[in-house]
Structure 1
Amino acid sequence: MKVFIPVIILSLLYASCTHHPKKDQSMQEDVTRLMSAPVSFNTDSLELLCTGLHNHMNDSFAPILKLVVYHDSTVCTSCVFQKLHKWDDFIEKAKAHKGNLELYFIFSPPSNEQHLLKVMVKNYKPKMPIYMDTAGVFRRTNPQLPSNPMLHTFLLDENNEVLVVRNPLENEKIDRMFWRTVKEKLGTGQKEKAND
């Protein structure tokens, strides 16, 4: 995991179009803190609203890599939900890894938006698994989680160590680093080289 830390921090600094030294330093510190401990990730404490295209829900299968997309009460739940379709191509690409890369969308909306989230999930039937954290368990068990919502999307390995931080849909450099990391961790990069 230590191999990935400099790459992640370096790419994070170059990811924005304009650089603000204090902002970059603060973000780098947040990433370092997020990566300082494994993420506590237990779906048993969350309410599953939709399985989406997830094939291994509620059985003994454990994916090697997990992409977690977390939305807390500081974001507009309906605004985020309306943009979930942007993940469709990403999900199709992830399916090529035959269950070894799974996506988990965790919403922790304020109590007055919880019913709205359930209605939206029921009506739109998204392609990804949607969990609702009504008690704020995910945030409470992960005190290292930054307040910056830009850092609430991260790739975890089999030990729930953070490998890549930030949303791959929002930045090409992060997207390339994400898929390179997936290939390295799953060994698919070696097979591709062998086939060249």
Structure 2
Amino acid sequence: MKVKIIVCCVLALILLSCLGSRDNSTEKFIVEWEGKEIIFPEKTQFALYGKDFAFDTIPDAEFKIITYVDSIGCASCKLRLPSWIDFIAQLDTMKLNVQILFFLHPFNSRELKAILRRDNFNYPVCMDTKDELNKLNHFPQDFHFQTFLLNRNNEVLAIGNPVHNYRIKELYLKILLKGGLEDKTSDQTTVEVANSTVNLGRLKKEQEKDTVIYIKNVGPNKLVVLDIIASCGCTIVECDRVPVAQGEKLALKIVYKPDNKGYFNKSINLYCNVPSSPISLQVLGNVE
């Protein structure tokens, strides 16, 4: 119980700092959910949408991460599947016994399946068309609070979406590693960004366009990229994670895949070992 209380207090501080004073009941909400058991529907069917495979039971694992996505707003923006793929790969390299489960309450199942196939997301997904999981647990409306780290007994250890917030990801890893996460930011450096805002101009719908932003390491230590978080799943960021020596440049390749017409302004947060982390970048333009 002592460990759970500490985790809850740390999570409250993280979320309060991220959300500011937007919701004064955030701490009370976290205390309410800490240790709460997530109830799963009796019959739950999962599928891997990139493969011909399905199963209908909740897998047994030391830890589970479940994320619920409703039908409101941009599904691709909420899902951020490429970031989940990177995070799952990171968990696999650490050889952690974690089961990732997605519950999607879709407005348009065909559209969601197309997104899953487009992003090659071959992990368990439940198309919860009747919204059964939410009806059993009454999740908050804010999608930032619709992802949970659970223990083997399906009790909540932490709340928050690790692909939308690096601090939440850091907390998840600390819990999974039982506090053994190394602090990679102890050796700080400084950087120069030639252009933090890039205008891609006019694009056709579904036309991909890419650009490169260079970040120069001008400090005394190597530049280490800890995480990259984009505001939308339409924005993909690629870079070499090898530490960058003093005087060298880090190249960030940004690929934008528009799926809606109109003006866009997407943000990218680069978490690295600089005092001003995260470094904020913007990509904007107009889709005709």
TM-score (norm 1): 0.74
The structure 1 segments of at least 4 consecutive aligned residues displaced by more than 6 Å after TM superposition are none
Q: Deviations over 1:16-40 (max 9, x none)?
A: 35631x61x3222222222352001
Q: Provide the residue aligned with 2:250 in structure 1.
A: none
Q: Tell me the distance in 1 between the aligned counterparts of 2:116 and 2:152.
A: 28
RMSD: 3.1
Aligned runs of 1:133-172 on 2, under 5 Å?
133-143=128-138, 145-172=139-166
Instruction: Tell me how many residue pairs correspond in the alignment.
Output: 178
Residue among 106, 121, 127 paired with 2:122: 127
Query: What do residues 86-145 of structure 1 show as CA deviations (whole Å, max 9, x unaligned)?
Result: 1222111221354611111111122xx1222123334443132221100110011113x2
Counterpart of 2:77 in structure 1 is 79
Normalization by structure 2: what TM-score? 0.53
2-side partners of 1:139 and 1:174: how far apart?
22
Contact persistence 1:70–1:153 (CA under 8 A): yes
Q: Highest CA radius of gyration, 1 or 2?
A: 2
Distance in structure 2 (CA, Å) of the matches to 1:59 and 1:149: 25
What is residue 63 of structure 2 aligned with on the other side?
Answer: 65
Deviation at 1:64, TM superposition (A): 1.0
| CA distance in structure 1 between the partners assigned to 2:62 and 2:153 by the alignment | 9
Q: Which has the higher strand share?
A: 2
**1:35 paired to 2:34:** yes
State the structure with bigger RCO (CA 8 A, min sep 6), 1 or 2: 1
In structure 2, the CA distance between the partners of 1:117 and 1:169, relative to structure 1 (3 Å rule), is: closer
Q: Unmatched 5+ residue regions in structure 2?
A: 181-288
More helix by share: 1
Q: Distance in 2 between matches of 1:78 and 1:118?
A: 11
Match of 2:106 in 1: 109
Aligned to 1:49: 47
Given residue 64 of structure 1, which amino acid in structure 2 is its aligned partner? E
One-letter amino acid matched to 1:29: K
Secondary structure of 2:149's aligned partner: strand
Percent sequence identity over matched residues? Answer: 28
Instruction: Structure 1 unaligned segments of length 5 or more: list them.
Output: 190-196
- Alpha-carbon distance in 1 for matches of 2:57, 2:95: 15
1:177 equivalent among 171, 195, 198? 171
Indicate the residue corresponding to 2:11 in structure 1. Answer: 11
Cα contact 1:67–1:103 (8 A) shared by 2: yes
Indicate if the aligned counterparts of 2:8 and 2:31 stay in contact, CA closer than 8 A. Answer: no
Q: 2: CA distance between counterparts of 1:75 and 1:175?
A: 23
Q: Is the 8 A contact 2:4 2:34 kept in 1?
A: no
Which residue identity is paired with 1:10? V
Contact 1:65 1:157 in 2 (8 A): yes
Q: SS at the partner of 1:150?
A: helix
- Measured in 2, the distance between the counterparts of 1:59 and 1:147 equals 26
CA displacement at 1:11 relative to structure 2: 3.2
Equivalent AA in structure 2 for residue 45 of structure 1: K
